[in-house]
Chains A and B, each alone.
With several copies, the nearest count.
Chain A
């Protein structure tokens, strides 16, 4: 039978049971490939429970540096009897199955068009270790050792990773090294030559880092000067707050007093969390919350208040599969509308769409400037794929010496000097009024903040004209926002293109690969990556410059298309949706297929 042969270009998937300790072994496996200079993209597919259910870890090895999901599986490491049949079925023809042959499995449950690599992992572990927990944990290391041998990973790299992982707990290093060797040696003697997939040392990683988005967002909050975090646990956003806590413990404790330059409140729910963020923002601290879809739903009323009363707030929404509790451990881009138009009545909010952890770090830090400059909530829309998976991305950078843009806040000096203060007065023509902070001046600048209509001097009013004046200014403020938010990234095809593709957020790596593939097939398209809402003119210019554009998104209802059509006044006929919404990250294969099919259809139609 033939077998796939590939160097630095394959997908290997681990099927495990959660809570079995496989996660860290698998991650070490992926990291070792990176250390050999070969790019890797890894994704966890985990259940909404704590222990005992199926979980998968998918590692894409790509010397060319394609970091989206590719689709398909070249090798399955099948460690979970519960999902055996499904796992076997998902292997590409001529691919590999690596499994624990300690247990007898009837012939009927294998496939004849795949290559089977058997290793009695449990037997080996049981004969080496007595403690049941050790047996379990080291079994994972043993298979990593075996895979190292099969794929050609450098064992020294793995040994070093073990050393780093257990720094401080040095007693654990030697036993792990031993387990690794055990697997390696077994494979060398028993499985040699069975595997046509290989990793070869390369120089394609550079100084890139391997980091998950939630950690990046949390660091962005630290760098952006957030001092108040209020949150409520919800998958997949929980690690944003937890990681903020961790970073703060490192970076934000006053070296002298040992006191904290930050405050984190685990609120009793999301309503309370956003309430605290708004209270803090009103009172001049940079504050944020991190949540996911259900939390955004609960925050709607407060978000309307923040819009209307003009209070800065940063909301990190780590999107998951909706609606309702939906698929809490799957990814989607389906909170676009509920964020853009959050709350009843006429509202529009600022949204940012980072493409990867690095941009997420930057955008999150920038969100605090934006929120204070615009005096309004700013949403950072990431998703489970970016947030909870380690992504290979450019190292984070920061320009020292920059200060924060605290926006238009009148100081005691300003007030003392007699500057006119009207809380909702558009003195600068950019529709952004000046504000004051509580406690600033004994007799000037105090005003009453409310969610009801009021005049330019913050006085309560039920006058229609006063209300309308204010609502129009709020629209103009969003115009100002267009020049402040990150502009789209436009990439022109090598040849003059009649079609364009629009995309955003976590679809980026798959898009990059898909574009290269389409180009390879002679299909040239310009691309535009959206990075923020409201859309600046460049966005509609791009659409209008093409006969038709594809819009790639990860939701059912083409929510971004709706936003574009509505806000840019675009004929929807110009925008063709490419939608992936089954909860798994979009793949290059899917995008390529969808676009090429439609382009081919069109050129056929044209030819007829």
Chain B
């Protein structure tokens, strides 16, 4: 693409990234969510991550299902094409979109109702198919937009704002994602931007199915005492296993870490992910051990956050399908149509 954005008039002191964009260039329309909704913090983290990754906004496609969370793509990256599809089915739409053009960055944004209830099948199958995307669930344990019913991630016994208790077993999307083939899995909290921004950056840079579950309190319907998705509860029970930093290719490393507690992993775009381990025993490359750790902590009432699993050698759906390098949506009749010559042999073989 040869078109360059016209530079806008800017305050001199404002931060500009390598592409010459300011933070504002990554914003969208004004949010219509409730004041204080966790989802808005996540939108902000996404904006920040894209800014810091120096992504050209129009090279991102942002897709969602239906829900308060699924509305958020409208509130970020105003220069990106967005698609607010139908409830629970964003993963299939991303799959198709990705097939059509392997060159864009795919951001799938969903809610716990959208992904764990109606959309569970698509959630799982898009991951096992290896769609190269950054899939984020904004997990508040309720259906916000329909006013506060339990979703499938609500903990057993957790109380609704109106008094009822949830009696169904909860689904943990993180464990599920690891089990079914996601090659990058993280969990974070909408209130922890420090952790969330680099996690999103790494997920976007990862080539393969990347999933991040972000606990995101619903201030309207699920932020009361007794809710395991309330700000207070998550603040107290979240246990970060690591912290991340993303370093650009060949950038001098400026910060020093104590030896043995950090690890550098190269990402697909050439940048480096620096992992500082908070839990010395935790190895995010051992899928089975990570799952076990996760479940044990969950049984103890703790929510593990951070980069939970990552396969640095991941491949993606296009590799599996052996598609050509040029995006399929750019092929023309020349490459696609075998013409009358092709028909001749076809006709001949059918006589």
Contacts and interface: CB of A to CB of B under 8 A. Distances in A.
A48 interface: yes
A574 B63 CA distance: 47
Contacts of B81: 436-439, 446-449
Nearest to A305: B86
A235 B145 CA distance: 9
A438 B104 contact: yes
A321 B324 CA distance: 40
B328 A261 contact: yes
A518 interface: no
Interface stretch (A90-98, A123-131, A397-405, A499-507): A397-405
Contact of A438 (B80, B88, B145): B80
Interface stretch (A100-108, A267-275, A476-484): A267-275
B4 A442 contact: yes
A276 B93 contact: yes
A412 B91 CA distance: 28
A351 B318 CA distance: 32
Contact of B96 (A49, A287, A325): A287
Nearest to B324: A259
Interface stretch (B118-126, B187-195, B233-241, B269-277): B118-126
Contact of A263 (B2, B35, B74, B323): B323
B97 A50 contact: no
B84 A452 contact: yes
Nearest to B350: A209
Interface stretch (A147-155, A220-228, A557-565, A593-601): A220-228
A531 B328 CA distance: 31
B86 A324 contact: yes
A234 interface: yes
A302 B323 CA distance: 26
Interface in B25-63: 32-35, 56-59, 61, 63
A71 interface: no
B134 interface: no
A211 to B, nearest CB: 5
Interface stretch (A3-11, A72-80, A250-258): A250-258
Interface stretch (B9-17, B252-260, B333-341): B333-341
B92 A294 contact: no
Given A209-B347, A284-B101, A260 B322 contact: yes
A271 B93 CA distance: 10
Contact of B3 (A234, A278, A442): A442
A222 B338 contact: yes
B239 to A, nearest CB: 29
B94 interface: yes
A512 B252 CA distance: 79
B146 A285 contact: no
A283 interface: yes
Interface residues on A, range: 35 or more
A436 B333 CA distance: 20
Interface string B136-153: 000000011111011010
Contact of B333 (A210, A225, A267, A437): A225
B343 A398 contact: yes
Contacts of A443: 3, 5-6, 58, 79
Contact of B340 (A219, A252, A398): A398
Nearest to A269: B118
A429 interface: no
Contact of A275 (B1, B93, B321, B333): B93
Interface of A: 19, 34-35, 48-53, 207-211, 219, 222-223, 225, 227-228, 230, 232-235, 238, 251-252, 254, 257-285, 287, 294, 301-302, 305, 324-325, 395-400, 402-404, 412, 415-416, 436-443, 446-452, 460
Interface of B: 1-6, 32-35, 56-59, 61, 63, 66, 68, 71, 73-74, 78-89, 91-101, 103-104, 117-118, 120-122, 125, 129, 143-147, 149-150, 152, 220, 317-318, 321-325, 328-329, 331-333, 335-340, 342-343, 346-347, 350-351
20 contacts: A49-B32, A49-B33, A51-B35, A260-B323, A265-B99, A266-B149, A269-B87, A275-B122, A276-B96, A278-B93, A282-B93, A284-B329, A285-B101, A400-B339, A403-B333, A439-B59, A439-B104, A442-B56, A443-B5, A447-B82
User: Closest 6 interchain pairs by CB?
Assistant: A279-B96, A275-B92, A276-B96, A285-B100, A438-B81, A284-B329
